């Protein structure tokens, strides 16, 4: 019986250390075992990662942000970031189809009108 092939990853034990694109070949993985993150280089030579997200009771525990990739894997993502709260906060998404508006995408009068129609 032949011995199994040993898979060896590039590694770091320094918290928050991210490999540079020049550190990785395509298909090569790097692990930061201080953070529990595995990194790889995509076809656009951008370093991406897999992160261990602990999911308990529908809560997602992360390091403060969630990164969403669109339908095309490219260098552009949407990052949802949470600042350190000063109290428990609850944000609810409506049970409806549509788009969420940001403060940069709404005119001041539209906010007043939406509240008045509420």
User: How sure is the predictor about 63, in pLDDT bands with cuts at 50, 70 and 90?
Assistant: low
110 three-class SS: helix
Mean pLDDT across 70-87: 80
DSSP state of 42: -
Helical (H) or strand (E) element with 77: strand 77-81
User: How sure is the predictor about 111, in pLDDT bands with cuts at 50, 70 and 90?
Assistant: low
Judged against a pLDDT cut of 70, whether residue 58 lies above it is answered with no
Nearest to 82 by CA among 99, 59, 101: 59
For the chain, give every domain's residue range: 10-94
Mean pLDDT across 99-116: 61
What gap in Å lies between CA 115 and CA 118, rounded to an integer?
5
| Better pLDDT: 46 or 72 | 46
Mean pLDDT across 35-41: 88
Sequence-ordered list of residues with C-beta below 8 angstroms from that of 20, at least 6 positions apart, any chain: 47
């Amino acid at each position: 019986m032949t011995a199994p092939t040993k898979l060896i990853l590039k590694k770091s034990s320094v918290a928050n250390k991210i490999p540079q694109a020049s550190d990785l070949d395509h298909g090569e993985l790097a692990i930061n075992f201080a953070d529990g993150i595995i990194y790889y280089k995509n076809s656009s030579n951008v370093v991406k990662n897999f992160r261990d997200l602990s999911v308990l009771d529908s809560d997602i525990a992360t390091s403060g942000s969630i990164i969403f990739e669109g339908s095309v894997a490219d260098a552009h993502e949407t990052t949802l970031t949470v600042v350190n709260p000063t109290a428990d906060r609850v944000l609810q998404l409506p049970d409806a189809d549509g788009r969420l508006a940001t403060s940069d995408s709404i005119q001041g009068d539209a906010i007043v009108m939406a509240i008045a129609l509420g």
